[in-house]
Amino acid sequence: MLFDMEIDMSDESTTVPEKYRRDGAREYHNDHIVVYWEPRLCIHSRHCVRGLPEVFNSQRRPWIEIDAAMADEIAATVAQCPSGALSFARLDGGLEEVVPDETTVTPRPNGPLAVRGRLRIVAADGTLIREATRVTLCRCGHSENKPFCDGSHRCVGFQAP
Ligand code: FES
């Protein structure tokens, strides 16, 4: 087992309005908010399941119960996800995620670099890999999803303050 929090990849996504569809993401929505989940980016930091367990519960299917809290609470919790595996859009005109003025890079103990800001991750050939406000970048060298962390640092016993 790679992670201590395994999530069944067979979760059924709901269908969101076309303009809010996001390729490669599972989508969970009601009339107020759509939450996107990109499993390949998840580092299982557990901010979501600890912060709003009535909505985010890895033992339940589907693991996101979008009607179990107010959209503002869900948005605030999603914005804490360091990897950006969780993101959201408001369908009711509510507040969107605030993009930080500054870019910050924070090493996570024995893990990746957590980066926040208005980010554009670009490949050496100029190809845009990702635009985001939150990413976690591998610093152990063992990720199978570089430049993003995939949790492999735990398997290899990566140590760094
Ligand atoms: S730091 Fe997480 S896989 Fe490298």
What domains does the chain contain, in order, with CATH numbers? 18-90 (3.30.70.20), 104-155 (3.40.5)
What is the SS3 assignment for 1?
coil
The more confident residue out of 14 and 22 is 22
Reported as a pLDDT band with limits 50, 70 and 90, residue 31 is very high
Select from 115, 48, 41, 118 the least CA-distant residue to 81. Answer: 48
Q: Which of 153, 156, 159 to mutate to test the pocket of ligand 1 (most atoms within 8 A of CB)?
A: 153
Cα(104) to ligand 1 centroid in Å equals 18
Please tell me the predicted confidence (pLDDT) of residue 139: 97
Cα(112) to ligand 1 centroid in Å equals 5
Select from 89, 103, 96 the least CA-distant residue to 21. Answer: 89
In whole angstroms, give the CA distance from residue 126 to residue 31.
38
In whole angstroms, give the CA distance from residue 39 to residue 18.
21
Over 90: is that where the pLDDT of 9 sits? no
In whole angstroms, give the CA distance from residue 112 to residue 136.
6
What is the SS3 assignment for 73?
helix
pTM: 0.89
Residue 137: how many other CB atoms lie within 10 Å:
17
Over 90: is that where the pLDDT of 12 sits? no
Strand partners of residue 89? 34
H helix intervals, the chain: 47-51, 71-78, 152-155
The percent of residues above 70 in pLDDT, for the chain, comes to 91
